[in-house]
Structure 1
Amino acid sequence: MDVHRVSNHNQMDYNLDNMEPKHGKMLPCQEDRFDSGLDSLKEDELVNDFEDMTVNISEDVPPEYEPWRSAVTEDGDTLLHLAIIHEATEHALQMIKLSHNHPFLNEQNHQRQTALHLAVITEQPQLVERLLKAGCDPLLSDDSGNTALHIACKRGSLACFSVITQNCHRHFTSIVSFPNYSGQNCLHLASINGYISLVENLVQLGADINAQEQCSGRTSLHLAVDLQNPTLVRCLLNLGADVNCFNYGGFTAYHLTYGRQNEEIRRQLYEKTAQELRELPDSESDESDMEDGDLSEDELYDDIKFGK
């Protein structure tokens, strides 16, 4: 098996209007390090451990004596992590079955990823469902502050998103409003990456469409203008987004159309924005701060640029 392969099965691939291609720089999730164990099975000793411990799992062995629960790589990955990373599905299912409500399911590696995080990253909704039903905690976040649902929204995994939301009714409100360490919640991540279906689903399930990301106070509508995505702007307006909401710099979404080229977006927002809010507010910053169409992605989302 090619241990470097990460499955993209069932991922949505929306490249809308003026957004860059799926594998372009517009999608920050492409730069993420997906897991800490992709090279870990190259060590002969661990290969043997993986084969011996997982293949010989037996329900006759008392749980407290299962050796596979204590095996951990130098990157902090358990054998369950490794089974998921390398898509050894039967081994993973056996360990999950024998670990119902056991702390083992919530073990985090050195990137603070649980088995649930890795099941979403590798696009294995069957394992996502089994893990949740066995007691894996959907509220745990990785070292970027992302829960498994954040990752599903960031990567556009509709299958994993559906499984998580269907099995986490009790925690959904908490998870969907929870900001990661960049100040972005699930709706912000889906919006930034242009996943229209996820945006619609999140709002219909109760996500706050006017929630502000914590760095600069932008709503999903502000982000849609930043990204010059008229389809997303239209979607958010149809879902009831507040066009008169200010970011922390005192700008409405319509204000962000100044210096940008997409007339469709400008027209959509002009019609709905209150007349007294159409002119740019007095500011010490000049209009060039709004003209960031040529900036890199990091600069585009730098709160210093928008928070002056």
Structure 2
Amino acid sequence: MDVHKVSNHNQMDYNFDSMEPKHGKMLPCQEDRFDSGLESLKEDELVNGFEDMNMNFNEEPAQEYEPWRAAVTEDGDTLLHLAIIHEAKEHAFQMIKLSHNHPFLNAQNHQRQTPLHLAVITEQPQLVERLLNAGSDPCMADDSGNTALHIACKKGSLACFGVITQNCKRHITSMVTFPNYSGHNCLHLASINGYISLVESLVRLGADINAQEQCSGRTSLHLAVDLQNPALVRRLLELGADVNCFNYGGFTPYHLTYGRQNEEIRRQLYERTAQELRELPDSESDESDMEDLESSEDELYDDIKFGK
């Protein structure tokens, strides 16, 4: 798409309300889409687009209404979204500077991504910090229910994770607790993707190590067994994970070792699991749990690359 094909309407959904699913129901699992604007224009076209819109970033203070704030592409991207996607940092810095505490910073594209989401997706922690200091809302969710912190935990972005948690201490309890629309909180996402250092950091920040994801009731320990990650199992046990916690199907983490090959995981859990909870329930199996995990849209994604 061309940057010249923009509309000067300002009909954005700023999503300042709660990030709870509509009507109190959990939305179905959705595929995360992080490709907004990536094919829209090249860097030189982006700069030309800024110039064509008569964006004079040197005039301060900015007026409440600025034409460049109202410009929106057919994908719902503002010029700040595009500047972040294409790593035009100086343009992004200027727009952020001129929009301190302005709703423009929280504008969402058609995937409900804010500039903050895109700054994390494109691994630009300096932009993340500037956006937060200028008033970006860290609790806003995209169309999969992911906040910027959810995304940092999915990607294993230690730098962005650190910037967000250091600058959002007032919101940190709610941020690490909120589930996305697949029912996973930040600790679940870090566990699914095997980021042990993030798991440790989240627990230190107050995340409930025994929190159950909302699809199947698995804790991070259940997920670690499902994914056959012995190092994560060991660390979760050291951090105090409850080995006797049941998922919604009535299975403990040890039950999920049946039919799986990793003997190290089996030994670790056998020693700690209550004797009466070691036998697999006769009428059930854990196959459905593994199928749920394999079909989850919160697994690793590597089909779309960002940056240069």
TM-score (norm 2): 0.81
Q: Match of 2:187?
A: 187
- Hey, what's the Cα distance between the residues in 2 that align with 1:246 and 1:211? 11
Per the alignment, residue 60 of structure 1 pairs with: 60
Q: CA deviation at 1:59?
A: 3.0
Task: Measure the CA separation in 1 of the matches of 2:275 and 2:92.
Answer: 58
Deviation, 1:40, is 1.8
Q: Deviations over 1:188-210 (max 9, x none)?
A: 00000000100000001100000
Distance verdict in 2 for CA 1:95–1:259, change over 3 Å: same
8 Å Cα contact 2:33-2:111 kept in structure 1 = no
Q: Does structure 1 conserve the Cα–Cα contact (< 8 Å) formed by 2:255 and 2:286?
A: no
3-state SS, counterpart of residue 198 of structure 2: helix
Other-structure match for 1:163: 163
Residue type of the partner of 1:232? L
Q: Distance in 2 between matches of 1:239 and 1:96?
A: 40
Please name the residue that 1:133 is paired with.
133
Counterpart of 1:40 in 2: which secondary structure?
Answer: coil
- SS of alignment partner, residue 96 of structure 1: helix
Residue 42 of structure 1: how far off its partner (Å)? 5.5
> Unmatched 5+ residue regions in structure 1?
1-30, 303-308
1:280 Cα offset (Å): 1.2
Amino acid at match of 1:143: D
2:28 equivalent in structure 1: none
| Aligned counterpart, 1:151 | 151
Query: Counterpart of 2:248?
Result: 248
5+ residue gaps, structure 2, are 1-30, 300-308
Aligned partner letter, 1:185? N
| Counterpart position of 1:110 | 110
AA partner of residue 248 (structure 2): Y
Q: Which residue of 2 aligns with 1:298?
A: 295
* TM-fit CA distance, 1:51: 3.6
How far apart in 2 are the matches of 1:95 and 1:301?
Answer: 32
CA RMSD of aligned residues (A): 2.5
Alpha-carbon distance in 1 for matches of 2:199, 2:208: 11
Identity of aligned residues (%): 82
Whether the 8 Å CA contact 1:191–1:223 is kept in 2: the answer is yes
> In structure 2, do the counterparts of structure 1 residues 86 and 300 end up closer, same or farther at CA, with 3 Å as the change threshold?
closer
CA gap of 1:58–1:198, structure 2 versus 1, over 3 A, is same
Which string of whole-angstrom CA distances, capped at 9 and with x for unpartnered residues, describes residues 129-168 of structure 1?
Answer: 0000100000000000000000000000000000000011
Q: Secondary structure at the match of 2:41?
A: helix
The 1:180/1:288 distance shift into structure 2, 3 A limit, reads closer
State the one-letter code of the partner of 2:252: T
Question: In 2, distance between residues paired with 1:54 and 1:181?
Answer: 40
Report the TM-score when normalising by structure 1. Answer: 0.81
Q: How many residues align?
A: 269
**Worse-superposed segment, 64-73 or 185-194:** 64-73
CA distance in 2 between partners of 1:84 and 1:51 (Å): 17
